[in-house]
Amino acid sequence: MFTNDEKEAVYKVIAARRDVRSFLPDPVQDEAVYSILKAAHQAPSVGFMQPWNFILVTSEEVKDRLAWAADKERRALAIHYEDDSRSSAFMNLKIEGIKEAPLTICVTCDPTRGGSHVLGRNSIPETDRMSTACAIQNMWLASCAEGLAMGWVSFYKKADIRDILHIPPHIEPVALLSLGYTNDYPKKPILEAENWESRKELDSLIYTDRWEG
């Protein structure tokens, strides 16, 4: 079905994809954005409910307000890291990323899409957000393949994001994604490069026939 080169390309993108925090101001071409959104829309979803929407934000004023919401949350969280100045410095960088990147995409999840009996969602309601996360991962991989950088910001109060972007109360703002070009695409996860966390040994995570922890 796929040539060896095509197969290797998929694994190469999976390995190369990184969470990025610094962006150049250069705009992203509409075609690239559309390709990335198309990748998102091809993601799997529980009962094929396709619960996502994408709010494209290029207005400096709206981006500033989103950055404000994230900064407010960063300051609220800072008390947990009082002894660790690195942590709040990292989180701060991400907020700068929202302002720097020419495009922010808010990905939302509509839990009501498909009615009250979406196939498979009855047992595990959060499968709607899991589906949205699959769409976001597709966007991350597609961005990487397009030579674009993407950063995921998840620290904000949902109510703030709903207010700023006029999102109805029943819709979940799942992610704020900064998208743009960078001249600083990390070779390894930033948190690994900064000795914060390292990748766990895969073999230690694989169990056979029963939980082995």
Closer to ligand FMN by CB, 95 or 114: give it. Answer: 95
Q: How far is the CB of 5 from ligand FMN (least distance, A)?
A: 24
Binding flags for ligand FMN, 149-168, as an x/- string (CB under 6 A): ---xxxx-------------
CA 110 to chain centre: 17
Among 23, 33, 37, 94, binds ligand FMN (CB under 6 A): 94
Q: How far is the CB of 152 from ligand FMN (least distance, A)?
A: 4
How far, in Å, CA of 107 to CA of 120, rounded?
A: 22
Q: x/- contact string, 181-210, with ligand FMN (CB under 6 A)? A: --------x-x-------------------
Strands 103-109 and 52-57: antiparallel
Whole-number minimum distance, CB 30 to ligand FMN, in Å? 26
Please choose, from the candidates 72, 2, 15, the residue with its C-alpha nearest in 3D space to the C-alpha of residue 199: 15
**Out of 13, 19, 24, 41, the residue judged to bind ligand FMN by CB under 6 A:** 19
Q: Is 18 in the site for ligand FMN (CB under 6 A)?
A: yes
Q: Convert residues 48-77 into a mask of x (bound to ligand FMN by CB under 6 A) and - (unbound).
A: ------------------------------
Q: Which residues bind ligand FMN (CB under 6 A)?
A: 18-19, 94, 152-155, 189, 191
